[in-house]
Chain A
Amino acid sequence: MEKFIDNLSPMDLMRSEKMSLVQLIIPVESAHRAVSYLGELGLLQFRDLNAEKSPFQRTFVNQVKRCGEMSRKLRFFKDQIIKAGLLSSIHPVVEPDVELEELEMQLAEHEHELIEMNSNSEKLRQTYNELLEFKMVLLKAGSFLVSNNNQAVAKERELSENVYSSDRYVEASSLLEQQMRTADQSGLRFISGIIFQSKALRFERMLFRATRGNMLFNQAPADEEIMDPLSAEMVKKTVFVVFFSGEQARTKILKICEAFGANCYPVPEDFSKQRQITREILSRLSELETTLDAGIRHQNKALTSIGYHLTQWMSMIRREKAVYDTLNMLNFDVTKKCLVGEGWCPVFAKAKVQEALQRATFDSNSQVGSIFHVMDAVESPPTYFRTNHFTNAYQEIVDAYGIARYQEANPAVYTVVTFPFLFAVMFGDWGHGICLLLGAVVLIARESRLSTQKLGSFMAMLFEGRYVLLLMSLFSIYCGLIYNEFFSVPFHIFGGSAYKCRDATCSDAHSAGLIKFRDPYPFGVDPSWRGSRSELPFLNSLKMKMSILLGVAQMNLGIILSYFNARFFHSSLDTRYQFVPQLIFLNSLFGYLSLLIIIKWCTGSQADLYHVMIYMFLSPTDDLGENELFWGQRPLQIVLLLLALVAVPWMLFPKPFILKKLHSERFQGRNYGMLVSSEFDPDVEPDSARQHHEEFNFSEVFVHQMIHSIEFVLGAVSNTASYLRLWALSLAHSELSTVFYEKILLLAWGYDNVVIRLIGLAVFAFATAFILLMMETLSAFLHALRLHWVEFQNKFYHGDGYKFKPFSFALIAEDDD
């Protein structure tokens, strides 16, 4: 038997990959290439040998900085491209990788060019904006002034005033003309300009306060929106004209204009002059517009040409930065000609790593080859499972609890089947199962498309768990067939029912019951149970017993796995003083219960199992009477009880005492410690993984063992009880679906009204989709999760390892996206 187990070929997922601590000694000239080849390979996890150094004290800090600077430039390009709205037209072009130095120069050139173009176009834009504003001020303010001039200077222009008074603001101003006419000759002056619309109100208030009300403020919204140079957004502006008198007021108003960012433009009072200026401005505006357009076209062209390479450059810089970050984790050796690195790598990948190193040496024409050798490590290696699409989700479920200790038995292997099955026990309904199946199949069918695009967090979770969902739905269909539930409707799939009414009228079916007239229903629950008076007691008894059987089986599996762990780590102590008593304890109590359940099912006995179990403890020597299931049950019970009693001290005491004895034997007569010095041992790197120190503290070990034993003994009872949740949830699920079916759908169908029927159907559909398919799935999922994490895994799983995180370009790209 032992031989057979040893000779089993190792399976990928049973235990994590064998890892080894390796040391690389790479000559400086080929170091960069070597590390980037290793990054492509992605199977080596470097250890940081410079952890005590701050980032800017490391060797390749300048290169890291340069990469940072370059990625800043690239971000700048990207911003510019997005700003110009060109992103959609970019198709990444794959070109041979350029040298880093060359790329740096190219980037600097491009950045310089872009900044220059930006500043040029900004200048142009500013002039353009100013002219545009001037134009608007002329248009709007002119109309205020015209009315002003008309009355003050000449009456004959009344005709034209009428023309201009079409502007509604003129009326307001003309009302005040009467008072101002006299002031006009005595130096009534005005300032015209343009201001952000949002600031206009406050501006007016401020002017009013500053001049103590001695001013007239006219405003009109500008017709066009003007681009704000800072935010590059279009903003609304308001043209204003302020009339005032006196020099002091003028300086004040100018200061306020400056403070509010209002641009002032002089508007000549003479009408013909105004026209002339307007004409000039218009011609200059059109000129500028063409220049601006040409500039923008030029810029867009430059940006597009950058855009072609942008993605490639970005990923290249990302890789370069990762390479230098990794190089920073390496140490210089004594001669300063080689870099020394340490890292974890799976045993199967050693050849590949070596090959990559050789390739690097060859490609960089290095005189000296890299040295690659395995070191022995004290620190526990990282845990690495090679998973595939299918197993990954299950491994994630286990990892969410804790990463497996290095090389310990991996519960994910069993989880692949037990998890969806326990879920299905709680979710048994083949109608609901088919709905889930459809969802899972859709996800899997669109796998290739969905895996490339970015999903929302909820969708991403569903997608990650698509294979879990698939198995869950298949098992639900299976359990649903056993429970004979389809949206709580029983079906006669496997032939007719075994029961029939006592007479033709079937009047006493609900009082006296049915009679069995042929062989039992071949698969699952007989449909006749549905709606009968004894439906619940029958199903409860069935599901409860089934839960206990499943639970005891799974817990036994857990304990057996602890045996394989003990075997694997050559700890006969654990086998003898932990595995054996645990197995005996669990099986003498609950294993026996399972046996009784099976016998009762097979024989159809009427024995009361509660009574048997309880009196097994209270009065084991009493006669069982009518509850006796088989011959010799009483002596067997006494033996089992004694075994269980013996098992408790067995798992509690021997282990700590034997550990203590072993420890004192090992250090017999050695009352001096080992010399701790790195000077005598040139191999030991100062920060290497080889540290050895082990303190033995008896009381701690004993307390730990005590906690462990008590936990197991109490846990045996409470965990078994915990498996009853399988029954409880399954009951809740079937009752809920019965309620929705009978109280909503059938009730609505009772009316002969299409609207009520439709409403009933809609409510039923919503309740099924949201409560039964979503909430119930979630709750059954969580309970299945708990049964695995707590009841199953606490029998053997330590879960205190750490994950293997190789240096890999593929992973870096994923992180950034």
Chain B
Amino acid sequence: MYGFEAMTFNIHGGYLEAIVRGHRAGLLTAADYNNLCQCETLDDIKMHLSATEYGPYLQNEPSPLHTTTIVEKCTLKLVDEYKHMLCQATEPLSTFLEYITYGHMIDNVVLIVTGTLHERDVQELLEKCHPLGMFDSIATLAVAQNMRELYRLVLVDTPLAPYFSECITSEDLDDMNIEIMRNTLYKAYLEDFYKFCQKLGGATAEIMSDLLAFEADRRAVNITINSIGTELTRDDRRKLYSNFGLLYPYGHEELAVCEDIDQVRAAMEKYPPYQSIFSRLSYGESQMLDKAFYEEEVKRLCLAFEQQFHYGVFFAYMRLREQEIRNLMWISECVAQNQKSRVHDSVVFIF
């Protein structure tokens, strides 16, 4: 079917593609962000958002507002849209849409497990979970004492089970283990998603492989930076990198042996797409790296909309909305804490 998507795509995917493009047109624009950045109170933000697509979700919130309420309601909108699309989707689009949520699922599992390790209340933890990554028995995660139990009790029913089978140890859970588990799961998830997209073929494979490769590379860099100075061995670190992407395999060899941020930088600058990201940062700096990566990601996601007849738009839209919600959260936090000078530090403009 390669190259002939235009002939058959619209039979099943046309409606949803139209829907998702319509949603995308509802993303906040630069003018909206400008106005939001000038807000003095959270009520101002609510007032401004009520003129956008978020309006119906925020209009019944009594003031005074909290940042969490704003973020919660905005996420609710995304979830509603996602659920609508999932209901309307047919195979293989429905599987594709489900794949998008697995990342949140992994994060939620890690959140609950870490939380119970630190003896937090399960209900409180559940509220913090991303609604897209919820599954039925998520609350039971708290029962598990070690990874084997975790798998046997809960995760075996979830779509994460195949990823998990790779990292089962009977070790007790601790912070380090959990972090390794998260990255192993993520690696397996990305590889699986990548394979799935390749199987779909056509423009979907082309665009998604680019987006997922970027995601894998970004994770590789983050793992490297975060593991510098910890007891994680080079081999273990190497094992956490996903087996695809621009850095695979030679970049991974170099990243695996990095001892400080400048070595990472040296390794990354050999790859032209990442050179521009690192060239904007001064030496030894890693705080702004996240933002730089986000900006690059947003640029790539927006490009996914330039082509028609592929599923990448769904992935791109979900990611863009999530980025927008992150932006809103940052702006609201800045406004709430009277730190308006720092508003521009972390906001990634989408258009």
Q: Does B38 contact A (CB under 8 A)?
A: yes
Within 8 A of A (CB), among B17-42: 35, 38-40
Binds A, one of B47-55, B241-249, B308-316: B47-55
Cross-chain contact of A206 among B48, B59, B153 (Cβ < 8 A): B153
The answer, yes or no, to whether A57 is at the interface (CB within 8 Å) is yes
- B122 near A72 (CB under 8 angstroms)? no
On chain B, the residues within 8 Å of A75 by CB distance are: 59-60
Residue B107 interfacial (CB < 8 Å): no
Q: In whole angstroms, how far apart are the Cα atoms of A209 and B156 in the complex? A: 11
Q: How far is the CB of A359 from chain B (nearest CB, A)?
A: 33
For residue A242, give the distance in angstroms from its CB to the closest CB of chain B. Answer: 14
Given known contacts A206-B137, A259-B122, is B47 in contact with A61 (CB within 8 Å)? yes
Which of B138-146, B293-301, B342-350 sits within the interface?
A: B138-146
Which among A55, A76, A255 is the interface contact of B143 at CB below 8 angstroms?
A: A255
Q: Taking CB as reference atom, which chain A residue is nearest B116?
A: A255
A258 touching B35, Cβ below 8 Å: no
Complexed CA–CA distance, A247 and B165 (Å): 30
Cα–Cα distance between A612 and B301 once the two chains are bound (Å): 68
A263 to chain B, nearest CB (A): 14
By the criterion CB–CB under 8 Å, are B143 and A56 in contact?
no
Complex Cα spacing A468 to B63, Å: 51
Assess the B143–A210 pair: CB atoms within 8 A.
yes
Bound complex: CA A321 to CA B142 (Å):
50
Contact indicator A259/B139 (Cβ below 8 Å) = yes
Selected contact of A69 from candidates B62, B140, B152, B154, CB within 8 Å: B62
Chain A residues lying within 8 Å of B47, measured Cβ to Cβ, are 55-56, 61, 64-65, 68
- Name the interface residues of A50-78: CB closer than 8 Å to any CB of B: 54-57, 61, 64-65, 68-69, 72, 75-76
- Compute how far the CA of A206 lies from the CA of B153 in the bound complex, rounded to whole angstroms: 7
Contact with B along A220-252 (1 / 0, CB 8 A): 000000000000000000000000000000001
Smallest Cβ-Cβ distance to A79: which chain B residue: B60
Asked whether B143 lies within 8 Å of A252 as measured between CB atoms, the reply is: yes
Q: Assess whether A54 is in contact with B153, with CB atoms less than 8 Å apart.
A: no
B38 touches A55 (CB 8 A): no
A64–B43 alpha-carbon span in the complex (Å): 12
The residue from A61, A65, A252, A258 contacting B122, defined by CB atoms under 8 A apart? A258
Tell me if A256 is interfacial: C-beta within 8 Å of chain B: yes
Whether the Cβ atoms of A76 and B50 lie closer than 8 Å is no
Whole-angstrom distance between the alpha carbons of A202 and B136 in the complex?
Answer: 9
CA distance A54 to B61 in the complex (A): 22
Whether B137 lies near A72 (C-beta < 8 A) is no
Cβ of A260 within 8 Å of any chain B Cβ, yes or no, is yes
Whether A260 lies near B50 (C-beta < 8 A) is no
**CB atoms of A72 and B142 under 8 A apart:** no
Q: How far is the CB of A317 from chain B (nearest CB, A)?
A: 13
Instruction: Determine the chain A residues whose CB is within 8 A of the CB of B142 once the complex forms.
Output: 255, 258-259
Would you give the shortest CB distance from B76 to chain A, in whole angstroms?
15
The closest CB in chain A to the CB of B59 belongs to: A72
Whether B44 is near chain A, meaning CB under 8 Å from some CB there, is yes
B48 touches A56 (CB 8 A): yes
Which chain B residue shows the least CB distance to A212?
B152
Question: Between A and B, how many residue pairs show CB distances below 8 Å?
Answer: 60
B43: nearest residue on chain A (CB-CB)? Answer: A65
Please state if A72 and B143 are interface contacts (CB–CB under 8 Å): no
The answer to whether A206 and B140 have CB atoms under 8 Å apart is: yes
User: A68-B47, A209-B152 in contact; A56/B39 too (CB < 8 A)?
Assistant: yes
A359 to B207, CA, bound (A): 67
In the complex, which residues of chain A have a beta carbon less than 8 angstroms from the beta carbon of B140?
206, 255-256, 259-260
A54 to B48, Cβ gap below 8 A? yes
Per-position binary interface string of chain A over residues 267-283, scored 1 when its CB falls under 8 Å from any chain B CB and 0 otherwise = 00000000000000000
Interface contact A76-B60, CB-CB below 8 Å: yes
- In the complex, are the beta carbons of B38 and A54 less than 8 A apart? yes
Task: Encode B144-168 as 1/0 by CB contact (under 8 A) with A.
Answer: 0000000011100000000000000
Given the complex, which residues of A lie within 8 Å of B48, measured CB to CB?
A: 54-56
A57 surroundings in chain B (CB, below 8 A): 38
Q: Which residues of the other chain, A, contact B59 by a CB distance below 8 angstroms?
A: 68, 72, 75
Q: Across the interface, which residues of B come within 8 angstroms of A55, CB to CB?
A: 35, 47-48, 51
Binary interface encoding of chain B residues 48-88 relative to chain A, with 1 for a CB under 8 A from any of its CBs, else 0? 10110000000111110000000000000000000000000
Chain A residues 181-231 with CB under 8 Å of chain B are: 202, 206, 209-210
Whether the pair A68, B50 counts as a contact (CB closer than 8 A) is yes
Interface string of A29-62 (1 = CB under 8 A from B): 0000000000000000000000000111100010
Query: B35 to chain A: which residues have CB within 8 Å?
Result: 54-56
Residues of the B chain whose Cβ atoms lie less than 8 Å from the Cβ of A56: 35, 38-40, 44, 47-48
Whether B60 lies near A72 (C-beta < 8 A) is: yes
B143 touches A256 (CB 8 A): yes
**What 1/0 mask marks residues of chain B from 2 to 28 whose CB sits below 8 Å from any chain A CB?**
000000000000000000000000000
Q: Which residues of B have CB within 8 Å of A69?
A: 62-63
A-chain residues with CB within 8 Å of residue B44 when the two chains form the complex: 56
A30 vs chain B, min Cβ distance (A): 27
* Complex alpha-carbon distance, A59 and B57, angstroms: 26
Question: Are B62 and A72 in contact (CB-based, < 8 A)?
Answer: yes
Task: Report A718-772 residues with CB < 8 Å from chain B CB.
Answer: none
In the bound complex, residues from chain B placing their C-beta under 8 Å from that of A210 are 143, 153
Q: How many whole Å from A251's CB to the nearest CB in chain B?
A: 9
Closest to B51 in A: A55
Interface centre among A56, A61, A68, A261 (most CB of B within 10 A): A56
Cα distance A108–B51 in the bound complex, in angstroms:
25
Enumerate chain A residues within 8 angstroms of B143, measured Cβ to Cβ: 210, 252, 255-256, 259
Interface core residue of A57, A75, A76, A259 (most chain B CB under 10 Å): A259
**CB-based nearest B residue for A64:** B47
A193 to chain B, nearest CB (A): 16
Chain A minimum-CB-distance residue to B112? A259
CA distance A56 to B153 in the complex (A): 53
Measured CA separation A252–B140 after assembly (Å) = 10
**Closest chain B residue, CB of each to CB of A72:** B60
In the complex, residue of chain B having the shortest beta-carbon distance to the beta carbon of A205:
B157
Once the chains are docked, how many angstroms separate the CA of A256 from the CA of B142?
8
Provide the A6-28 mask, 1 if CB < 8 A to any CB of B, else 0: 00000000000000000000000
In the docked arrangement, what's the CA distance between A368 and B43, Å?
A: 36
CB distance from A50 to the nearest CB of B (A): 13
- CB of B149 to closest CB in A, whole Å: 8
Contacts of B43 in A (CB 8 A): 65
- Nearest first, the 8 A-B pairs at minimum CB distance are A259-B139, A54-B35, A56-B44, A259-B140, A255-B143, A209-B153, A56-B47, A72-B60
14 A–B contacts from the bound complex (CB under 8 Å)? A54-B38, A55-B48, A56-B48, A61-B47, A68-B59, A69-B63, A75-B60, A76-B60, A210-B153, A256-B140, A258-B122, A259-B139, A259-B142, A261-B139
Could you list 8 further interchain pairs (A-B, Cβ under 8 angstroms) beyond the known A259-B139, A259-B140? A55-B47, A55-B48, A56-B44, A75-B60, A206-B153, A210-B153, A258-B142, A261-B139
